[in-house]
Structure 1
Amino acid sequence: MSGALQAVDPTSGSSLLAAFGALAVLVALFAESGLLVVGFFLPGDTLLLPAGVLCATGDGSGPHLSLWQVMLCAAVGSVAGAQLGFLIGRHGGRTALARTRSGRLRSAAARGEALLRRYGYRKAIVLGRFVPVVRTVLGPLAGMLDVPTRTFTVWQIVGSLLWSQSMVLAGYWLGAAVPGIEHYLWLLVAAAVVVSLLPLLFRSRKDSPPG
């Protein structure tokens, strides 16, 4: 057992799912949504899609996961993590951000703040769940900016459920519709990474000055 745990790659969705099953979804999404220090390095979209696939397949070539367990763990992990991040931001987030030397963290915080100010709290909180990196900083940032607790809680629940459940169900549909797709999870993960980065690429092109 200790050897198996040592072989687990915490940045690999497939590795986490093979080792811990649905529990990996809960823990990874909780950390990604609420813990700035480690959230950037954990899979989100790249964990949910393969988890959905393995709910429909996983017969002998990989772990078979229960759909209701994965959906429940995804919901609990993403909702609880975002709420924890909000509380951390409300009680000391400004100090932590001021002390950080991470340019990536500062850049993500700036994008999150721009999202909140441009679209308003409700829309930004929901949309931010679908943008990698931004969803890690959005909760703490909302706490730092004194977003009302009720507003953040209601809309982060909406956004967390829409994001996590749709990703799992998309993977489940692919697993059921495409025979043998479980043998190519790495391609699915790569596609998830590309799709999840599209909002950032479009935003970057829109904000770049004309040549």
Structure 2
Amino acid sequence: MADFLNPEAIVSSLGTIGVVITLFIEVGLLVGIVLPGDSLLFVAGLAAGTDALGVQLSLTALLIFCPIAAFLGAELGYYIGVRYGRSLFDRPDGRIFNQERVRYAEHWFNRYGPGKAIIFGRYVPIVRTLMSPLAGILRMDKKKFTFWNGLSAVIWTTSILIVGYLLGERVSGSIDKYLLPIVGLLIVLSLIPVLREVLKKKK
């Protein structure tokens, strides 16, 4: 399991297939809440721009299959939400899943509305995984969900892949000294919305 939490390990050992499968699980299944998303896409983009990771991926393949994986994963999440309803979230808190995360995702959905929540939620850990089943539970119109899901899947995956690719093209030699700080920065930036909501609740 540890390797599936390490974007570099996924990319270097499993390549494009590993990236696609991980994205699908992260977006489509509740267990995917712990998997990397933003950082994995960024590292995959890097690996398309340079072979410094020991493997070079095809940018074209990533730009085709990553949006598809993100789209299909979210569609699965939606259908799971429709099928099981609120009982899907009515479970005891555990290491991976807890009610606080559900409440946060619901707050995000209600605050921004379905369209914005689905698009911007792609960039937020926890929300990214819970948003689709939540849309199903709330019986969001299927056509609207599919539209926003498809649009968000393309925007999210493409934007991060391209940033990683462009940086990879400009880095010569080992990228180890850049990788950890940049991935760390991505994680921090993606957690800012979560931290803001936590601070608001404490005031």
CA distance in 2, matches of 1:62, 1:153: 37
Task: Please list, as runs of the form range in 1=range in 2, the aligned pairs for 1:1-211 lying within 5 A after superposition.
Answer: 9-36=3-30, 38-59=31-52, 61-102=53-94, 104-180=97-173, 182-184=175-177, 185-209=179-203
Quick one: distance in 1 between partners of 2:81 and 2:150?
17
> What percent of counterpart residues are identical?
35
Give the C-alpha shift of residue 181 in structure 1.
Answer: 5.8
Within 1, Cα distance between the matches of 2:192 and 2:5?
A: 21
> Which structure 2 segments of 5+ residues have no match?
none
Contact 1:50 1:171 in 2 (8 A): yes
Q: CA deviation at 1:178?
A: 3.3
Judge conservation of contact 1:93–1:144 (CA < 8 Å) in 2: yes
Q: Secondary structure at the match of 1:146?
A: coil
| AA aligned opposite 1:76 | I
For residues 85 and 7 of structure 2, the distance between their equivalents in structure 1, rounded to whole angstroms, comes to 28
Sort the Cα spacing of 1:181 and 1:172 in 2 relative to 1 into closer, same or farther, 3 A: farther
TM score, norm. by length of structure 2: 0.91
Instruction: Please name the residue that 1:3 is paired with.
Output: none
Give, in whole Å, the separation in 2 of the partners of 1:146 and 1:208: 31
* CA shift in 2, pair 1:174/1:187, >3 Å: same
Given residue 91 of structure 1, which amino acid in structure 2 is its aligned partner? R
Which has the larger displacement, 112-121 or 197-206?
A: 197-206
Q: Contact conserved, 2:68 with 2:153, CA < 8 A, in 1? A: no
Question: Is the 2:50–2:171 Cα contact (8 Å) retained in structure 1?
Answer: no
C-alpha spacing 1:99/1:203, structure 2 compared with 1 (3 Å): closer
The code of the aligned residue for 1:23 comes to I
Whether the 8 Å contact between 1:90 and 1:140 is mirrored in structure 2 is yes
Aligned residues of 1:49 and 1:188 also touching (Cα < 8 A) = no
Instruction: For 1:40 and 1:112, locate their aligned partners in 2 and report how far apart those are by CA, in whole Å.
Output: 12
The one-letter amino acid of 1:116's match is F
Deviation at 1:119, TM superposition (A): 1.5
TM-score, with normalisation over the residues of structure 1? Answer: 0.88
Residue segments in structure 1 that go unaligned for 5+ positions in a row: 1-5
How far apart are residue 208 of structure 1 and its match?
A: 2.7
SS at match of 2:98: helix
- The CA RMSD over aligned residues, in Å, is 1.9
Q: Distance in 1 between matches of 2:161 and 2:174?
A: 15
Q: Distance in 2 between the 1:31 and 1:93 partners? A: 20
